A = this chain, B = another copy of it.
Amino acid sequence: MSQIRRNLMLGEWVIVTPKRASRPFQDREQQCPFCPGRPGTEGDWRVLTLENKYPALSPEAGFFPLNEAIVMEAPGYGYCRVIVLSRDHDRQMESMSEDEVACVLDEYLRVFRELDSREGVRYVLQFENRGRSIGVSIDHPHAQVYALPFVPPRIEREMSQSARLWREEEKCLVCELLANELKSRDRVIYENNHFVSLVPFGARLPYEVHIYPREHCSSLADMESTLGDLGMAIRDTVTRFSRVFDENAYTMVFHTRPSGEETPYWHFHVEFYPPWRDRTRLKYLAGVESGAWTYTNDSSPEDKARELREAT
| Residues in chain A within 8 A of chain B (CB atoms) | 5-21, 25, 56, 72, 123, 125, 127-129, 134-136, 144, 146, 148, 152-155, 157-158, 160-161, 173-174, 177, 200-204, 251-253, 271, 273, 277-278, 281-282, 284-288, 290-301, 303
Residue among A11, A177, A286 facing the most chain B CB atoms (10 A cut-off): A286
Q: Are A288 and B5 also in contact (CB < 8 A) when A18-B303, A153-B294 are? A: no
- Chain B residue numbers with a CB within 8 Å of A72 are 201
Distance between A295 CB and nearest chain B CB, rounded to angstroms: 5
Residue among A6, A13, A157, A158 facing the most chain B CB atoms (10 A cut-off): A157
Distance between A166 CB and nearest chain B CB, rounded to angstroms: 13
Copies of the protein in its oligomer? 2
- Chain B residue numbers with a CB within 8 Å of A273 are 290-291
Residue among A282, A291, A293 facing the most chain B CB atoms (10 A cut-off): A291
Taking a contact as CB atoms under 8 Å apart, the answer to whether A158 and B202 are in contact is no
Contact of A134 among B152, B160, B284, B298 (CB under 8 A): B284
A251–B290 CA distance with the chains assembled, in angstroms = 8
Distance between A128 CB and nearest chain B CB, rounded to angstroms: 7
Contact of A15 among B21, B146, B296 (CB under 8 A): B296
Distance between A125 CB and nearest chain B CB, rounded to angstroms: 5
Taking a contact as CB atoms under 8 Å apart, the answer to whether A7 and B200 are in contact is yes
User: Please, which residue of chain B has its CB at the minimum distance from the CB of A251?
Assistant: B287
Q: Are A253 and B177 also in contact (CB < 8 A) when A17-B297, A18-B303 are? A: no
Taking a contact as CB atoms under 8 Å apart, the answer to whether A11 and B297 are in contact is no
- Chain B residue numbers with a CB within 8 Å of A286 are 127, 129, 134-136, 251
A155–B291 CA distance with the chains assembled, in angstroms = 9
User: Please, which residue of chain B has its CB at the minimum distance from the CB of A205?
Assistant: B290
Contact of A173 among B9, B18, B177, B281 (CB under 8 A): B9
Distance between A161 CB and nearest chain B CB, rounded to angstroms: 5
Taking a contact as CB atoms under 8 Å apart, the answer to whether A201 and B5 are in contact is yes
Contact of A152 among B5, B15, B146, B294 (CB under 8 A): B294
Taking a contact as CB atoms under 8 Å apart, the answer to whether A287 and B17 are in contact is no
Taking a contact as CB atoms under 8 Å apart, the answer to whether B297 and A15 are in contact is yes
- Chain B residue numbers with a CB within 8 Å of A8 are 161, 173, 177, 201-202
